[in-house]
Amino acid sequence: MEPIKTMQAFVAKSLLAAGTADSPAIDLRYIISNYKFSIDYTITGTGTVKIEYLLCGTSDGTYVDIGTDLGATLGAGSSFLPFASGEPYLAPFMKIRVTEDGGSAAAVVSVNVHIQ
Protein backbone atom coordinates (compact mmCIF):
# COMPACT_ATOMS: atom_id res chain seq x y z
CA MET A 1 0.00 0.00 0.00
CA GLU A 2 1.35 3.40 -0.96
CA PRO A 3 1.31 6.25 1.57
CA ILE A 4 -1.19 9.07 1.26
CA LYS A 5 0.31 12.51 0.70
CA THR A 6 -1.59 15.59 1.87
CA MET A 7 -1.11 18.99 0.23
CA GLN A 8 -2.57 22.13 1.82
CA ALA A 9 -4.30 24.07 -0.95
CA PHE A 10 -5.75 26.77 1.32
CA VAL A 11 -5.41 27.59 5.01
CA ALA A 12 -8.09 29.98 6.30
CA LYS A 13 -8.42 31.73 2.93
CA SER A 14 -10.89 34.63 3.11
CA LEU A 15 -13.26 34.90 0.15
CA LEU A 16 -15.36 38.01 -0.36
CA ALA A 17 -18.88 37.63 -1.74
CA ALA A 18 -18.51 36.23 -5.30
CA GLY A 19 -14.73 36.05 -4.79
CA THR A 20 -12.45 33.41 -6.34
CA ALA A 21 -9.00 32.12 -5.38
CA ASP A 22 -6.64 29.58 -6.96
CA SER A 23 -4.18 27.50 -4.96
CA PRO A 24 -0.49 27.32 -5.80
CA ALA A 25 0.34 24.68 -8.41
CA ILE A 26 0.45 21.09 -7.14
CA ASP A 27 3.13 19.11 -8.97
CA LEU A 28 1.67 15.64 -9.47
CA ARG A 29 4.58 14.19 -11.48
CA TYR A 30 6.42 12.49 -8.61
CA ILE A 31 3.86 12.08 -5.84
CA ILE A 32 1.22 9.85 -7.39
CA SER A 33 1.33 6.10 -7.62
CA ASN A 34 -2.31 4.97 -7.62
CA TYR A 35 -3.93 8.16 -9.00
CA LYS A 36 -6.48 8.36 -6.18
CA PHE A 37 -7.62 11.75 -4.87
CA SER A 38 -9.92 13.25 -2.27
CA ILE A 39 -10.15 16.56 -0.47
CA ASP A 40 -11.27 17.72 2.91
CA TYR A 41 -12.52 21.21 3.57
CA THR A 42 -13.61 23.50 6.35
CA ILE A 43 -15.80 26.52 5.68
CA THR A 44 -16.76 29.23 8.16
CA GLY A 45 -18.85 32.34 7.60
CA THR A 46 -22.24 32.73 6.00
CA GLY A 47 -21.19 32.42 2.34
CA THR A 48 -21.38 29.25 0.27
CA VAL A 49 -18.43 27.84 -1.63
CA LYS A 50 -17.78 25.92 -4.84
CA ILE A 51 -14.59 23.81 -5.02
CA GLU A 52 -13.15 22.66 -8.34
CA TYR A 53 -9.82 21.69 -9.87
CA LEU A 54 -7.88 23.07 -12.83
CA LEU A 55 -5.19 21.31 -14.88
CA CYS A 56 -2.10 22.35 -16.84
CA GLY A 57 0.84 20.80 -18.65
CA THR A 58 3.36 23.20 -17.04
CA SER A 59 3.51 24.71 -13.57
CA ASP A 60 3.45 28.30 -14.83
CA GLY A 61 1.13 27.83 -17.83
CA THR A 62 -2.54 28.59 -18.31
CA TYR A 63 -4.65 26.33 -16.10
CA VAL A 64 -7.79 24.96 -17.71
CA ASP A 65 -11.14 24.73 -15.94
CA ILE A 66 -12.72 21.67 -17.49
CA GLY A 67 -16.03 21.95 -15.61
CA THR A 68 -15.01 19.76 -12.71
CA ASP A 69 -16.92 20.91 -9.63
CA LEU A 70 -16.01 18.75 -6.64
CA GLY A 71 -18.69 20.43 -4.60
CA ALA A 72 -20.93 23.47 -5.01
CA THR A 73 -23.06 25.55 -2.63
CA LEU A 74 -21.12 24.14 0.33
CA GLY A 75 -22.05 25.93 3.55
CA ALA A 76 -20.34 26.28 6.91
CA GLY A 77 -18.91 23.04 8.25
CA SER A 78 -16.34 20.47 7.24
CA SER A 79 -16.38 17.25 5.26
CA PHE A 80 -14.58 15.10 2.67
CA LEU A 81 -15.27 15.17 -1.07
CA PRO A 82 -14.15 12.40 -3.40
CA PHE A 83 -13.12 13.03 -6.98
CA ALA A 84 -15.44 11.32 -9.49
CA SER A 85 -14.35 7.95 -10.86
CA GLY A 86 -11.64 8.44 -13.47
CA GLU A 87 -10.84 11.99 -12.33
CA PRO A 88 -8.86 14.06 -12.36
CA TYR A 89 -7.88 13.76 -15.96
CA LEU A 90 -4.22 12.91 -16.38
CA ALA A 91 -2.07 16.05 -16.14
CA PRO A 92 1.24 16.90 -14.48
CA PHE A 93 -0.01 20.00 -12.60
CA MET A 94 -3.22 20.86 -10.74
CA LYS A 95 -4.65 23.84 -8.89
CA ILE A 96 -7.68 23.92 -6.62
CA ARG A 97 -10.10 26.81 -7.14
CA VAL A 98 -12.54 28.03 -4.50
CA THR A 99 -15.34 30.44 -5.33
CA GLU A 100 -17.93 32.04 -3.07
CA ASP A 101 -20.92 31.03 -5.20
CA GLY A 102 -23.77 32.53 -3.15
CA GLY A 103 -22.74 36.01 -4.23
CA SER A 104 -23.88 37.83 -1.14
CA ALA A 105 -21.72 36.81 1.85
CA ALA A 106 -18.10 36.13 2.72
CA ALA A 107 -16.56 32.77 3.66
CA VAL A 108 -13.27 31.49 5.04
CA VAL A 109 -12.03 28.24 3.48
CA SER A 110 -9.36 25.65 4.27
CA VAL A 111 -8.79 22.81 1.78
CA ASN A 112 -6.43 19.81 1.87
CA VAL A 113 -5.84 17.56 -1.14
CA HIS A 114 -5.11 13.90 -0.36
CA ILE A 115 -3.21 12.01 -3.06
CA GLN A 116 -2.15 8.40 -3.35
Domain, as residue range, for 51: 5-115
Verdict on whether the full-model pTM lies above 0.95: no
1 has a pLDDT exceeding 80: no
**Looking at residue 108, which CATH number applies to its domain?**
2.60.120.1110
Domain count along the chain: 1
What tens digit of pLDDT does each residue of 27-79 get?
999 887 788 899 999 999 999 999 999 999 999 999 999 888 899 999 999 99
Total residue count of the chain as it appears in this document: 116
The beta strands (E) that lie in 49-106 are given as 49-56, 64-74, 77-82, 93-100
Is there a contact between 109 and 9 (Cβ–Cβ < 8 Å)? no
Arithmetic mean of pLDDT over the chain:
93
Q: How far is CA 48 from CA 3, 5, 13, 58, in A?
A: 32, 27, 13, 31
102 has a pLDDT exceeding 80: yes
Q: Tell me how far apart the alpha carbons of residues 40 and 114 are, in angstroms, rounded to a whole number.
A: 8
